[in-house]
Amino acid sequence: DAKTTQPNSMESNEEEPVHLPCNHSTISGTDYIHWYRQLPSQGPEYVIHGLTSNVNNRMASLAIAEDRKSSTLILHRATLRDAAVYYCILRDWKGGSEKLVFGKGMKLTVNP
Amino acid sequence: EAGVAQSPRYKIIEKRQSVAFWCNPISGHATLYWYQQILGQGPKLLIQFQNNGVVDDSQLPKDRFSAERLKGVDSTLKIQPAKLEDSAVYLCASSLSRDKLYFGPGTRLTVL
């Protein structure tokens, strides 16, 4: 499974934008970039995913570099509820198993 | 829509005892996953079902762990006998499409 690299942790301030980086230099052409987050004492929650183009949804935006070797999850206005562990995951459809392989993730702290 | 249900939420057992966890996926979701999450780590896939067939169980310790999904709906994960290192949160997830997984709240297992 292709690997991703994230910082161990980040801090942000409430109501400010947050940019969460992810490096995936060995990404293949069939890998989708997925983001999940896990709030304390809860199961992971889907945030967003993309292949090549930038993506937006009600939770966040995903900016994908032109060479696809990195991506950035953007929370436009952080709230205290966004404090969580964020996982950047590559998901390859080619093999057909569709499994999601989690790394350690990145802990986001939001300061009031 | 109702989410993924899991029970029990917490379980404490002595080593060498057996334990079972139950999962009810979102209605209509054909794919069901069991993940193990040890404290401080990301979730690790144990087994994936497509309807009631096993797609991937490569990381399931089959000498002590077993799982079944009768009639392609509910699923049960069993550990027999439990070891200290099995202390973890056991997460069930289901999916309808290839886009996103929906996770349950998990069962926190403590083995003494």
Predicted local confidence at residue A30, as pLDDT: 84
Of A76, A69, A63, A77, nearest to A31 by C-alpha is A69
Instruction: Look at residue A1 in the predicted model and tell me its pLDDT.
Output: 58
Q: In the 3-class helix/strand/coil scheme, how is chain A assigned residue by residue?
A: CCCCECCCEEEEECCCCEEEEEECCCCCCCEEEEEEEECCCCCCEEEEEECCCCEECCCCEEEECCCCCEEEEEECCCCHHHCEEEEEEEEECCCCCCCCCCCCCEEEEEEC
Q: Do the Cβ atoms of B45 and B35 come closer than 8 Å?
A: yes
Q: Chain B contacts of A97, Cβ < 8 Å?
A: 48, 55-56
In a mutational test of the A interface, the residue from B102, B103, B107, B108 whose CB has the highest number of chain A CBs within 10 Å is B103
Q: Does A58 touch chain B (CB under 8 A)?
A: no
B48 contacts A104? CB cut-off 8 A: no
> Average pLDDT over chain A, rounded to whole?
92
Which stretches of chain A drop beneath a pLDDT of 70? 1-2, 93-98
Cβ atoms of A89 and A6 within 8 Å: the answer is: no
SS3 B101: coil
| pLDDT of the residue at A91 | 85
For A85, the closest chain B residue by CA position comes to B42
What is residue A50's predicted lDDT score, i.e. its pLDDT? Answer: 93
pLDDT per residue as tens digits for the range B10-32: 999 999 999 999 999 999 999 99
Does the beta-carbon distance from B101 to A105 stay under 8 Å? no
Q: Does A45 touch chain B (CB under 8 A)?
A: yes
What confidence score (pLDDT) does residue A100 get? 83
Amino acid A75: pLDDT: 97
Contact yes or no for A103 and B42 at CB 8 A? yes
Q: Is there a cis peptide before residue B81, judged by omega within 30 degrees of 0?
A: yes
**pLDDT < 70 regions, chain B:** 1
Which pLDDT belongs to residue A6? 96
Rounded to a whole number of angstroms, the distance from the CA of A102 to the nearest CA of chain B is 5
* Cβ separation A102–B99 shorter than 8 A: no
Interface with A, mutate which of B101, B102, B107 (most A CBs under 10 A): B101
Q: Do B91 and A101 touch (CB under 8 A)?
A: no
Chain A residues whose beta carbon lies within 8 Å of the beta carbon of residue B99: 46, 49
DSSP symbol at B82: -
Q: Which residue of B has its CA nearest to A46?
A: B100
The predicted pLDDT at position A97 comes to 57
The residues near A66 (Cβ < 8 Å, ≥ 6 apart) are none
The pLDDT value recorded for residue A93 is 67
B47, amino acid identity: I
